Amino acid sequence: MLSPLYTDIGSTSDDDDVTDDSWMSSLCCDNASVNASNSSGPESSLDPGGDERCMWFHFVVNTLLIGALCIFGLFGNTLSLFVLERDRRNRVAVFLLQSLATADNLCLCVAFIELSVIYGLLPVVGRGDLQVATAPYLIKYMNPVGTTVQSCAIWITVLLAVNRYIAVCRPFVASRWLRMRRTRLQVRST
């Protein structure tokens, strides 16, 4: 008999309570939690391929998809840093764009290490023990660093938007407001 969470509202007999939970087992990696709620019949045995499917799903999403996005992002941001280095006309906007590219690169590095390597690649190569050993350090150190860098990137984007608003919509006060010293102080305060 299923737990009250999985029963149909209108069913009254025990034969109606048997439902197909394959959709649920495909969503979550812990098949034991799904099967533990079922009766102790033959359908309550664990799916032997469930953990392997979940591991390969994490590998494809975390390592291949997110890893490729991180590498392309790192390449694009680094390229924009070199291109912006040659622009000498608008130093304040160039400085803000370079700061944003740097913050994005740091955020991408943290995401690549944590998601692609630790959560995606290590279980596939059989180093789940290393993943378990590094999990407390990831939670304690990497997650706050990643969140801080992401917040910095967001606030630098806001600074850039305000900077461009002042430069385009208020050009007469732009020379007083948009100074390099003030902009460096604003970026450091983020």
Domain count, the chain: 2
Contact 34, 6 (CB under 8 A): no
Helix/strand/coil percent split, the chain, to 5: 80, 0, 20
Would you state the pLDDT for residue 119?
Answer: 77
Q: Verify that 63 and 134 share a domain, yes or no.
A: yes
Residue 25 belongs to domain spanning: 1-47
Q: Verify that 17 and 110 share a domain, yes or no.
A: no
Would you state the pLDDT for residue 37?
Answer: 43
Would you state the pLDDT for residue 92?
Answer: 87
Q: Verify that 88 and 181 share a domain, yes or no.
A: yes
Would you state the pLDDT for residue 154?
Answer: 94
Would you state the pLDDT for residue 50?
Answer: 62
Q: Verify that 43 and 54 share a domain, yes or no.
A: no
Neighbours of 41 (CB within 10 A): 8
Residue 173 CB contacts under 8 Å (≥ 6 apart), including other chains: 166
Would you state the pLDDT for residue 97?
Answer: 92
Q: Verify that 73 and 18 share a domain, yes or no.
A: no
Would you state the pLDDT for residue 49?
Answer: 58
Q: What predicted TM-score, i.e. pTM, was given to this entire model?
A: 0.66
Would you state the pLDDT for residue 73?
Answer: 94
Which residues of the chain register pLDDT less than 50? 1-28, 30-46
The CA R_g of the chain, rounded to the nearest whole Å, is 26
Q: Verify that 5 and 81 share a domain, yes or no.
A: no
